[in-house]
Structure 1
Amino acid sequence: MATQKIYAGAKLREMRTRLTLTQKDFATKLGVSLPYLNQMENNNRPISTTVVLALAQEFGMDVTELSTGDSERLVSDMREVLADPVFADMMPPLADLRLTASNAPALARAFIELHRAYRQTHERLASLDEALGREDARIQASPWEEVRDFFHYCDNYIDAVDRAAERFASRADESISIRQVALNSLSERGIHVTFTDTETLRSYNAKDKTLRLSSRVAPQTQVFQLLLQVALISQDKLLEATLDFARFQSDEARAIAKIGLANYFAGASLMPYGAFLSAAQEYRHDLELLSNRFGASIEQVAHRLSTLQRPGAKGIPFFFVRVDQAGTITKRHSATRLQFARFGGACPLWNVHRAFETPGHFLQQLAETPDGVRYISLARDVSKSGGSFGAPVRRYAIALGCEVRHAEALVYADNLDINNASAYEPIGISCRICERQTCHQRSVPPLERRLTINAHSRGTLPYEVT
């Protein structure tokens, strides 16, 4: 079998820069000539076996990182950006996009950022946003989207925060729960915790050092909020250092990201990496068993599974997404080749939308994307009660999935006919970049296909994709 050639020039340059080595010194340590290293860094040559071994032995690098990363994400994001009608017929060949993502990832991200600024300005004009008349109005990324992209391109795994959470969780054992460890940690800092009959999940008063938690919510939520507050108080230096590294464009984005990192610490403390990965493999990723084992909600477990990307100890690459009843994506991450639409909703043929129809039940789906990759997708509603009669219920659905080649490791695949090609439902990412010609749920025509329109003939769609 032919060995797949690996072109990873951007990763080589990134590692060399991080180590503050010149090309000459880096080449010496890798055992190659300076011209050869230069060719590899510019993707004119694939990474040789000698270099792969040297990277592992000399620098302890997880060599699987060479063939993974954010290139596919960048390609997917650029394709969606270029599907904007403003680009009309200017869609570059897919090969050019892949070359850009591999050779010039910073340029690719700048292009995506530029389009986002354009889109937001266009939306402001369309809605006559009063901000256009203010002196402090400025074109910048939405803080929420900026933070979302930060986690997206970190592969949803923050190593320093994850390991700190794992060390904190090691204080818990059979005699003391993680809940008590969190309470003790706060108590050691003079913080008093009370449980109050209120709609507010968590409220901390720094002046009197009182943390108030809602007694209406589920025990898992209470523990999670305890751990989140522990992160904000005991891990502040670590969180701030991580935020400094991210270099957010606004104070709002930095503040949102800090909450995100605190949430990350809480989830990683509740489900510490090593123990959780081991249990996930033992239980064959049964979400309910994992939920009972770690005292976490189904959504928390599914989200945590999508973060198991520690170098040298990776779990199955999962995608994870949460949508509301309108189909809007409120959380998204993918460690797989499947990427979600940055704008708009998810493909309507995906089983996550049907989860609202069957509350309390898991839905299984075998799906195939236009690139021919096949997935197993698991969906379930995760509606959240307001805690009292008449209180509004927040309704969401989540989906968790992976490529079908991992089927043996998933209990949910046991009754699926994974070898039957007709069992796979065709799904896409976004209608504008989906090339399927016969989709009965298509909302807009694909950008890269011509249309045939016949006023005297009508099928499922008012046009034919040719």
Structure 2
Amino acid sequence: MQKTFIGPHLRRLRLERGETQGAMARVLGISPSYVNLLENNERSVSVQVMLKLFEAYGVDWREIAEEDGSGALADLRAALQDPLFAEARPDLTQLRAALVHAPDLASAFLRLHRSWQAATDQLLSLNEGDVRAISATPEAAVHNVFRRQRNHFRDLEEAAEAFWTAPVERDEVYVALKRRLRDQLGISVRLARVEDLPGTLRQYDEGRREILLSEALDHTNRTFQLVHMCGLLEQRELLDGLIDRAGIADPRGVARLRVELANYFAAAVLMPYAAFLAEARATKYDLDHIATRFGVSFEQACHRATTLQREGAQGVPFFFLRIDKGGNVTKRFNATDFHLAEYGGACPRLDVHTSFRTPGKIVPQFVEMPDKSQYFVFSRTVDRPTWIRHAQDNRLAVAMGCMIEHAGEIGYAEAFSVAGARMVPIGINCRVCPRANCDQRAHQATILTQPVDEKRRGATRFDG
């Protein structure tokens, strides 16, 4: 059984109530020295003490047990991968100590770093004539919410598990969803012609109580859109609570978060946690097979694989990256320490870019970040709905990556000797990558201050 440490939370609880360790010890029926050990994470908390906390202070012990600091630790480690800290990067022991003894300071540091990233993004965008307020983009704000949750939402998982009151055969899900919307919510579903729903895949007409689905959607995505709408309509109170706790003030961020939470719910309904995890382990994460088994798309199966972070039943921690043909990052999820590109494009040395040459085929790759951390990454193109014959190639590409120690659990790595695999050096993106001599560099990195040597011509014009 995994031990539970609650040091920062216990200390904050005591200070908020103005109690000494001795006073709290009397309330909990334990010794002051034991309270001290708990606050410094030198002892794990017992179930009896958890129950006493609930009884005496009204604290939900399940939330404390889940907030074990690993999400905050991952955020700190990711932030400190910024080249800004290359010369003075705290080690893991120091980071753990900061979370135990000064959790509010660590949280303030993360907020400051995110603000610095947003300000940097604004300065970079000024060259392109895009003047915006200094605030995180809606996408970045949502990514941070998911990151803090380790890409896993217990409440949404529980709601998804309770969605069906009786088992539904996979080939009957679409019809069952239409019936559910009609009978429980009084909402009809109608398939619309492309010309009647231009540029739109789904539209909910609240006045007419009607959901329109474009015929451009295939059956898999029609089903997903209906579960998504069930999430928006049936789970409104749950979504509101999660959004309130997220602390996003920007209405654009709130709207984006609501959509992504409903997407999460839909994925959890169509791909139940325990069944999906069992299938993933049995097939060594053969995502094409898994997508077929659950009647979803390859991309939807990839999304779901990143959410398998339930305590005691964890899957491989993945990061997920989706790019367009111009190299722009259009979606990202992360359950690893890998620092995903937030602004602009991903590193051009990632083979996710070259996967467009071999549509529909898995492209495996071993990569190494500037901090020497190593990952196994596999990429593949995914198709998008098509409206007109002049825009038929709407492909995007997705990349899934995990730390090198998990490569043995991934079937796509079976053809390689992990110990002797050739590592491709990559970075976050060109603007913050310290690899000065990279032959794929597209921008002068803001952290590289060495002037160009006019007497030498390197691999690029930035490496003189």
Q: TM-score, normalised by structure 1?
A: 0.81
- 1:426 maps to amino acid: P
Q: Indicate the larger mover: 96-105 or 231-240.
A: 96-105
What secondary structure is seen at the aligned counterpart in 1 of 2:402? strand
Q: How many angstroms does 1:75 deviate by?
A: 3.9
Q: Alignment partner for residue 162 of structure 1, among 152, 157, 160?
A: 157
Which residue in 2 is equivalent to 1:224?
Answer: 224
Summarize the alignment of residues 5-20 of structure 1 with structure 2, pairs less than 5 Å apart: 12-14=7-9
Match of 1:146 among 130, 141, 145: 141
**Long gaps (5+) in structure 2:** 52-60
Who is 2:313 aligned against?
313
**Deviation by residue 1:15-35 (Cα, 9 ceiling, x = unmatched):** 66579886737667596645x
- How many residue pairs match? The answer is 438
In structure 1, the partner of 2:342 is 342
Q: Which residue matches 1:86?
A: none
State the Cα distance separating 1:351 from its structure 2 match.
1.2
Write the deviation string for residues 159-192 of structure 1: whole angstroms up to 9, x where unpaired. 2112211221463334873323322220222211
Post-superposition offset of 1:247: 2.2
1:348-363 correspondence to structure 2 within 5 Å: 348-363=348-363
- Residue 435 of structure 1 deviates from its aligned partner by 4.0
CA-CA distance at 1:399 after TM superposition: 0.4
* Greater displacement, 121-130 / 308-317: 121-130
**Alpha-carbon distance in structure 2 between the residues aligned to 1:417 and 1:455:** 43
Q: SS of the residue aligned with 2:285?
A: coil
Q: Indicate conservation of the 8 Å contact 1:452/1:463, yes or no.
A: no
Answer yes or no: is 1:191 the counterpart of 2:148. Answer: no
Q: Is the 8 A contact 2:457 2:463 kept in 1?
A: no
What secondary structure is seen at the aligned counterpart in 2 of 1:320? strand
1:108-164 per-position Cα deviation (integer Å, ceiling 9, x unaligned): 232134324534654676566688xxxxxx654333332232223222222211221
Displacement of 1:456 in angstroms is: 2.7
Tell me how far apart the structure 1 counterparts of residues 10 and 203 of structure 2 sit (CA, whole Å): 42
Residue 252 to residue 447, structure 1, CA distance change in 2 (3 Å): closer
- Per-residue displacement from partner, 1:213-254 (whole Å, max 9, x unpaired)? 122311110000000111111111111111111122122221
Distance in 2 (alpha carbons) for counterparts of 1:66 and 1:370: 28
For 1:342-391, what per-residue CA distance to the aligned partner results, in whole angstroms no more than 9, with x for missing partners? 22211111111111111111101122223332221110011314144234
Superposed CA RMSD: 3.6
Which letter does structure 2 place at the counterpart of 1:333?
F
Letter in 2 for 1:348: P
One-letter amino acid matched to 1:410: I
Equivalent position of 1:428 in the other structure? 427
Task: Verify the 8 A CA contact 1:166 1:269 in the aligned structure 2.
Answer: yes
Give the letter aligned to residue 70 of structure 1.
A
Alignment of 1:81-96 (within 5 A): 83=84, 93-95=88-90
1:169–1:272 CA contact under 8 A, matched in 2? no
49, 73, 77: which is aligned to 2:75? Answer: 73
Quote the offset at 1:327 in angstroms: 1.3
Residue 367, structure 1, aligned to residue 383, structure 2: no
In 1, Cα distance between equivalents of 2:138 and 2:63: 33
User: Could you tell me how far apart the structure 1 residues matched to 2:123 and 2:453 are?
Assistant: 33
Cα distance, 1:13 vs structure 2: 2.0
Deviation at 1:280?
1.0
Q: Give the distance between the partners of 2:334 and 2:130, measured in 1 at CA.
A: 34
Cα distance change on mapping 1:406 and 1:63 into 2, 3 Å: farther
Q: Is the 8 A contact 2:38 2:44 kept in 1?
A: no
Distance 2:134 2:440 in 1: 35
Equivalents in 2 of 1:389, 1:263: separation in Å?
29
The one-letter code of the counterpart of 2:357 is: E
Task: Tell me the CA shift for residue 288 of structure 1.
Answer: 1.0
8 A Cα contact 1:55 1:61, kept in partner: no
Contact 1:321/1:398, CA 8 A, preserved across alignment = yes
Aligned twin of 1:459? 458
Q: Does the CA-based 8 Å contact 2:364-2:379 persist in structure 1?
A: yes
1:395 aligns with 2:425: no
Q: Residues 23 and 38 of structure 1 are in contact (CA less than 8 Å); yes or no, is this contact kept in structure 2? A: no
Structure 1 residue 204 displacement after superposition: 1.6
CA distance in 1, matches of 2:395, 2:10: 43
1:402 aligns to what SS in structure 2?
Answer: strand
8 A Cα contact 2:232 2:262, kept in partner: yes
Partner Cα distance (1:457, 1:27) in 2: 70
Please give the secondary structure, in 2, of the residue aligned with 1:177.
helix
Aligned to 2:406: 406
Q: What does residue 330 of structure 1 align with?
A: 330
SS state at 2:161 partner: helix
Query: Shift in Å at residue 462 of structure 1?
Result: 4.7
For the 8 Å contact 1:364–1:378, the answer to whether it is kept is yes
User: Is 2:77–2:337's contact at 8 Å kept on the other side of the alignment?
Assistant: no
Q: Structure 1 311/462 Cα, relative in aligned 2: closer, same or farther at 3 Å?
A: same
Question: Which segment drifts farther, 195-204 or 376-385?
Answer: 195-204
For 1:435 and 1:128, the matched residues in 2 are separated by 27
Instruction: Check whether the contact 2:346–2:428 (CA below 8 A) recurs between aligned residues.
Output: yes
Q: Is 1:172 aligned to 2:175, yes or no?
A: no
Task: Find the counterpart in structure 1 of residue 44 from structure 2.
Answer: 51
Superposed displacement of residue 301, structure 1: 0.3
SS in structure 2 of the partner of residue 321 of structure 1 = strand
Alignment-derived partner of residue 134 in structure 1:
none
Q: CA deviation at 1:411?
A: 1.2
Q: 5+ residue gaps in structure 1?
A: 1-5, 84-89, 132-137
**8 Å Cα contact 2:367-2:375 kept in structure 1:** yes
- 1:197-208 to 2 correspondence within 5 Å? 197-198=193-194, 199=198, 200-208=200-208
Percent identity (aligned): 31
Deviation at 1:463, TM superposition (A): 6.2
Q: Distance in 2 between matches of 1:448 and 1:30?
A: 54
- TM-score normalized with structure 2 length: 0.82
Structure 1 residue 72, shift from structure 2 partner: 3.4
